[in-house]
Chain A
């Protein structure tokens, strides 16, 4: 119990949808519970489609929205008891978010480095002279350097570079937990796997635990240790990532897996193209 990094018990978030006569409530997140072990860093994937409540769950873990019922504990401290600026800064030092759209996560009118500097100064409490070194160090962990990022506006960097910068910023304060909400869905295919693999490296080399929220079963399979599958706010299946995805038990998990498109299950037999289709100029042949 005392060795839990993150512990969720019966976490529920309900929203009131006021009808004409009756007030109805619906649970965006319904009785979700799981725990991450502090001594064993892992990548914990939360899988679900839109409306599954996975993003709401992420925002509750980040203490951005309060729970309606149940408790979330980070290092045995309930998030609901975090009051005051000092306590909140202390929490943010240890738990950091990675957002979905890197072009949105950085203010388009501001230089990218200001977020790095702010984190270093205010969260990591780094002295003025050390700031550059600390930021550069964090950027090197993700394969960038301060020279590449300093003074740049978001639109001057690629989606992949920006997402790396966002990860570097999150690492500055030396967090124990990263909450990444769809971190690669807006990143180009040719760069996507490098970000995904970066998460693996963070876990193995820096001992950071990562809550990886995604709709993409294939990347989850690739990097996560454990997963939970959510449907309409409820956890329908959970367990070891490989075991669950190789052999899903719940009908919804089976449905999800069967819907994953991959070149291997392409119905090639159906589209043996009519050989007469293609007249094109054969310039060299």
Chain B
């Protein structure tokens, strides 16, 4: 494992770049545990101080240190993205594999549900969700809501692969070896689907973090929890740009771009590496 990572680092520029970016972002998130003051407290430092040695990212109009607040914000955003991605992966894997393998009526029912979710307009639904929940709105709840909306595209993708796997001779061979459906799905088919799951995990994180930022910036989330989105929301509330407190907006924006870019580059390079065909050639067989 360590060897493959090292090889990837050495021979794949996208991977190296992506990994460096993500490492920086994660390092930043980890730094939140060392914050000298509780990040939610306001007026712990002098307000509106531009970046300096004492406050590398400056302080904002609410008397908070932008650097330490950002560490917590990115941690929350990443955690959010990761949990949405994991939950929706489980859904899309389950539905995609079963629909593709079972075929027939099961497939048709599952794909009808799938397509219903595809055509639902996401943004209005999430806004509606916010208005329904109002004060009870919490981050785990938003994550569940987004996970249950974020699976259908990838489920369809996984189904198409499963569909072609079903007609491969080795599937029939597995059936005639007495393997159970679960065993065939998990042990025979899953390895072919994993690259998709992996790269869509990264893409799905990008998608959910992006959507969260959008919702937060306009205030349709729980604005008391610091995330990249809510930081920008508060900055806007204090008209930071007009007041010349540019560092309050710039640093969160730069960090979120680094996250997007890093995740994207990783997903591209991983894809190439995990693809079963290129894996086979590395193992020494013919693709």
Q: Which residues of A contact B (CB under 8 A)?
A: 62, 64, 85, 89, 92, 96-97, 99-101, 104-110, 114-115, 118-119, 121-123, 153-156, 166, 169-170
Residue in A62, A85, A115, A153 whose beta carbon sits within 8 Å of that of B177 in the complex: A115
Chain A residues, Cβ within 8 Å of B178? 89, 92, 118-119, 121-123
Q: Is the C-beta of B170 less than 8 angstroms from some C-beta in chain A?
A: yes
Beta-carbon contact of B169 and A155 below 8 Å = no
Chain B residues, Cβ within 8 Å of A169? 173, 177
Please judge, given known A-B contacts A101-B169, A155-B285, whether A115 and B174 are in contact too, CB under 8 Å.
yes
Beta-carbon contact of A96 and B176 below 8 Å = yes
B267 to chain A, nearest CB (A): 21
User: With the chains together, A171 CA to B201 CA distance in Å?
Assistant: 43
Residue in A85, A106, A123 whose beta carbon sits within 8 Å of that of B170 in the complex: A106
B124 to chain A, nearest CB (A): 38
10 A-B pairs with CB atoms under 8 Å apart are A99-B169, A101-B169, A104-B170, A106-B173, A107-B173, A108-B285, A115-B173, A118-B174, A118-B183, A119-B178
Q: Is the C-beta of B286 less than 8 angstroms from some C-beta in chain A?
A: yes
Beta-carbon contact of A122 and B192 below 8 Å = no
Q: Is the C-beta of B187 less than 8 angstroms from some C-beta in chain A?
A: yes
Chain A residues, Cβ within 8 Å of B192? 109
Beta-carbon contact of A104 and B283 below 8 Å = no
Please judge, given known A-B contacts A115-B174, A118-B174, whether A104 and B169 are in contact too, CB under 8 Å.
yes
User: With the chains together, A111 CA to B158 CA distance in Å?
Assistant: 24
Residue in B169, B177, B187, B191 whose beta carbon sits within 8 Å of that of A122 in the complex: B177
Beta-carbon contact of A99 and B172 below 8 Å = yes
Beta-carbon contact of A109 and B169 below 8 Å = no
Please judge, given known A-B contacts A122-B177, A122-B179, whether A107 and B170 are in contact too, CB under 8 Å.
yes
Chain B residues, Cβ within 8 Å of A123? 177-178
User: With the chains together, A32 CA to B119 CA distance in Å?
Assistant: 48
Q: Is the C-beta of B107 less than 8 angstroms from some C-beta in chain A?
A: no
Residue in A107, A118, A153 whose beta carbon sits within 8 Å of that of B285 in the complex: A153
| Residue total for B at the interface (Cβ-Cβ under 8 A) | 24
Beta-carbon contact of A118 and B188 below 8 Å = no
Beta-carbon contact of B173 and A99 below 8 Å = yes
Beta-carbon contact of A105 and B280 below 8 Å = no
Across the two chains, which residue of chain B brings its CB closest to A154?
A: B285
Q: How many A-B residue pairs have CB under 8 A?
A: 73
Chain A residues, Cβ within 8 Å of B176? 62, 92, 96-97, 119, 170
Chain A residues, Cβ within 8 Å of B191? 109-110
User: With the chains together, A79 CA to B160 CA distance in Å?
Assistant: 30
Chain A residues, Cβ within 8 Å of B172? 64, 97, 99, 105
Across the two chains, which residue of chain B brings its CB closest to A85?
A: B180
The 10 closest A-B pairs by CB, nearest first: A155-B285, A122-B178, A118-B177, A104-B169, A123-B178, A107-B170, A119-B177, A105-B169, A99-B169, A115-B177
Chain A residues, Cβ within 8 Å of B279? 109
Beta-carbon contact of B188 and A107 below 8 Å = yes
Q: Is the C-beta of B284 less than 8 angstroms from some C-beta in chain A?
A: yes
User: With the chains together, A18 CA to B21 CA distance in Å?
Assistant: 54
Against A, the Cβ 8 Å flags (1 = close, 0 = not) of B173-217 are: 111111110010001100110000000000000000000000000
User: With the chains together, A122 CA to B182 CA distance in Å?
Assistant: 14
Q: Is the C-beta of B276 less than 8 angstroms from some C-beta in chain A?
A: yes
Chain A residues, Cβ within 8 Å of B283? 153, 155
Across the two chains, which residue of chain B brings its CB closest to A97?
A: B176
Q: Is the C-beta of B168 less than 8 angstroms from some C-beta in chain A?
A: yes
Q: Which of B141-182 contact A (CB under 8 A)?
A: 168-170, 172-180
Across the two chains, which residue of chain B brings its CB closest to A172?
A: B177
User: With the chains together, A100 CA to B188 CA distance in Å?
Assistant: 19
Chain A residues, Cβ within 8 Å of B183? 118
Across the two chains, which residue of chain A brings its CB closest to B280?
A: A108
Against A, the Cβ 8 Å flags (1 = close, 0 = not) of B252-287 are: 000000000000000000000000100110011110
Across the two chains, which residue of chain A brings its CB closest to B173?
A: A105
User: With the chains together, A114 CA to B180 CA distance in Å?
Assistant: 14
